[in-house]
Amino acid sequence: MDEQIKQIAERLKGLRDALDLSIEEVAADCSLSVEEYQALESAEIDPSVSLLQRIARKYGITLDELMFGEEPKMEAYFLTRKGTGVSVERTKAYKYESLASGFKGRKAEPFIVTVEPKPEGTMVYFNTHEGQEFNLVIEGRLLLNINGKELILNPGDSLYFDSSKPHGMLALDGKTVKFLAVVMA
């Protein structure tokens, strides 16, 4: 079991305990089955960023507190130097590096996402979440599937889309892909 997933699970349980809520209440509030929520708290599954964002919003905390265990403090600006963003590698397939983790009251979540190659035809994940998303490929070639439509993005290409549509990604050419993802609710 991945240590970061285990830490996220512990923070979810701590949040529920701090708010004096039952597993059933949190599951219902977050549109999950009791079994799905229990799997989150026991670190049996890797929660998507969008699910963590939904939980954070529901209970009035920041995504950073759930993902990284840190509360943002900066209100005027937050500088992230190259390669120094708070990082979480939730699976071997992809890694998120938060670019604004220290900024309080963010209206968007910018990340550098690293996608490792998988066997051809294997999407890394399919996800849906409220809002919109912007992706800009920095290196490598990325296959994005949005609601069944496949699009290939090369370095410098960008895509803005409705993230409530199912979407998944795949690194092409057997090479790692890095892209800027900005998630807005």
The pLDDT value recorded for residue 1 is 45
Reported pTM: 0.70
Cβ contacts of 92 within 8 Å, gap of 6 or more: 116
Name which of 151, 143, 146, 89 is nearest 120 in CA terms: 143
Where do runs of H (alpha helix) occur along 116-156?
Answer: none
Note the pLDDT tens digit of each residue in 140-168. 999 999 999 999 999 999 999 999 899 98
DSSP state of 159: E
pLDDT recorded at residue 95: 83
The per-residue pLDDT for 140 is: 97
Task: Return the sign of the alpha-carbon dihedral for residues 131, 129, 57, 75.
Answer: negative
Query: How far apart (Å, rounded) are the C-alpha atoms in residues 60 and 84?
Result: 26
Residues in the chain where the model's pLDDT stays below 70: 1, 88-93, 120-121, 123-125
Beta bridge partners of 74: 103
